[in-house]
Amino acid sequence: MLNLKLTEEQRIVREQARKWFTRELEPHLEKMDNHEITPYEYIRRFAHEIVGSGDITSVQQLEEIVANRDFITTVLLGIEVSRASPGFAMSMGATYSLTCFAILRDGTPEQKEKYTVDLARFDKIGALAITEPEAGSDVLGMKSTATKDGDHYVLNGSKTFITNAPYADIFVIYAKAPGGISAFLVERGAEGLTTGKPLEKMGMRASPTGEIFMDDVRIHESQILGDEGKGLYNLFAVLQNERAHSPAMSIGIMERCIDESVRYAKQRVQFGRPIIKFQGMQFMMARMWTALLASYSFLFTLGELLEQGTDISIMSSAAKLYTTEKATEVAMDAIQIMGGYGYMKEYKVERFARDAKLMEIGAGTSQIQMLIMGRKLADTDEPELNPLLAGPDPFGSM
């Protein structure tokens, strides 16, 4: 069973991360939110100073780190990053958990050698490009094409809502090749590849998001990631990895919103006493805390299943659905508790509310997660609903 008792080392890592973010990042978050500065210098510094990414010098070393990584330590860091800035966490994750993970999983030895160490060290920024103007949840509806021309592919089309796109150095781009949807490795500077300015978003503004345009981008066949036509297998593995870790981001949002609103409620006096003494406020806070505890349960259950090497397809969808929706609810409750002050930028919770909403959209919307689970339930005669007996998939093996 997963040991939920934190080691002294894990406590120290958590404490160091929180202190670093308070000291080094918090003073600059308003500028990031206003697109005055990018997060990448700070991501690289955090990765080198706290995570130790600067010590990675070889693919073999990176693969050993990934194979032996401690789940609890990893998610504790993820929670701390998101407590400070979910947008910062999103840009960091797009480089490491999406782009680097995709190449490390399906790349050739040459591709791994060329890209993964720089991405893991955050010396290079990565972007995973799936979504298009007319193809979001409907991945099969993408219109970007990769036409074979001798020992090259020629890419045409566009992508939108891509994390890190305006500044990324290395792109994993999905397009329709002759054999089906495939993934391609494209570097910034490739002829015909351009990116747009950061899009003006409601939330996650510390994470630059943008468009990618491909106009006869010619790349060698050695730049295909995995086999032609097998891009969706790579993509689903990447998305499952993202969904499994999404509760950490949601928990970070919830923790920060609860902290801020409880602190405020203890100081805010109305009708002669602090508002935290009113039963209505206590009820709201109790529900917020319950959502946080349940989200931790999802996170640690996923960790246990990953440790066992169990298929987490269904459980990760359930975890993402619950924790992301609760993060939005908790953030909105924090604003309600703080009243007009909660609506002001100075008090920070309005930023977390804006950031939280995207968690219900990215990596598969809440409706897609419900569709995945609902279809399995509809197609199963006698599902085993007790997770202790059924494991992560009450509907049978995937």
User: pLDDT by residue (tens digit) across 166-205?
Assistant: 999 999 999 999 999 999 999 999 999 999 999 999 999 9
Task: Dig out the tokens for 28 from the structure.
Answer: 């600059």
**Is there a shared CATH topology between the 8-124 domain and the 128-230 domain?**
no
Which regions of the chain are under pLDDT 50?
398
Phi-psi region of 211 (alpha: psi -120 to 50; beta: other; left: phi over 0): beta
Q: What CA–CA distance (Å, rounded) separates 59 from 57? A: 7
Q: What is the pLDDT of residue 303?
A: 81
Phi-psi region of 362 (alpha: psi -120 to 50; beta: other; left: phi over 0): beta
Active-site positions read: 242
Cα dist. 180→23, 215, 219, 363, 382 in Å? 48, 20, 17, 21, 35
Q: What is the pLDDT of residue 398?
A: 41
Domain 232-390 listed as CATH 2.30.31.70: no
Q: At what angle do helices 71-84 and 86-93 cross, to 10 degrees?
A: 130
Q: What CA–CA distance (Å, rounded) separates 183 from 176? A: 9
Hey, how many other C-beta atoms are within 10 angstroms of the C-beta on 140?
A: 9
CATH dotted code for 8-124: 1.10.540.10
Asked whether the beta carbons of 215 and 192 are under 8 A apart, the reply is: yes
Q: What CA–CA distance (Å, rounded) separates 230 from 225? A: 9
Angle at 355 (CA atoms; ends 277, 237), nearest 5 degrees: 125
Beta strand pairing status for 170-177 and 126-129?
Answer: parallel
Q: What is the pLDDT of residue 392?
A: 65
Amino acid identity of 257? C
Asked whether the beta carbons of 238 and 102 are under 8 A apart, the reply is: yes
| Strand ranges in 136-284 using DSSP code E only, listed in sequence order | 145-149, 152-163, 170-177, 180-187, 193-195, 209-220, 224-225, 269-270, 273-274
Task: Dig out the tokens for 389 from the structure.
Answer: 């007996």
DSSP string, 222-258: GGEESSTT-HHHHHHHHHHHHHHHHHHHHHHHHHHHH
Asked whether the beta carbons of 246 and 319 are under 8 A apart, the reply is: yes
CATH topology of domain 128-230: Butyryl-CoA Dehydrogenase, subunit A; domain 2 (2.40.110)
Q: What CA–CA distance (Å, rounded) separates 146 from 156? A: 7
Location of structure tokens 């949807």: 181
Q: Which 8-state DSSP code applies to residue 199?
A: P
Asked whether the beta carbons of 384 and 376 are under 8 A apart, the reply is: no
Q: What is the pLDDT of residue 384?
A: 72
Asked whether the beta carbons of 245 and 221 are under 8 A apart, the reply is: no
Amino acid identity of 41? E
So where are the chain's domains?
8-124, 128-230, 232-390
Location of structure tokens 């494209």: 186
Asked whether the beta carbons of 309 and 232 are under 8 A apart, the reply is: no
Hey, how many other C-beta atoms are within 10 angstroms of the C-beta on 16?
A: 14
Contacts of 67 (CB under 8 A, 6+ apart): none
Q: What CA–CA distance (Å, rounded) separates 345 from 350? A: 6
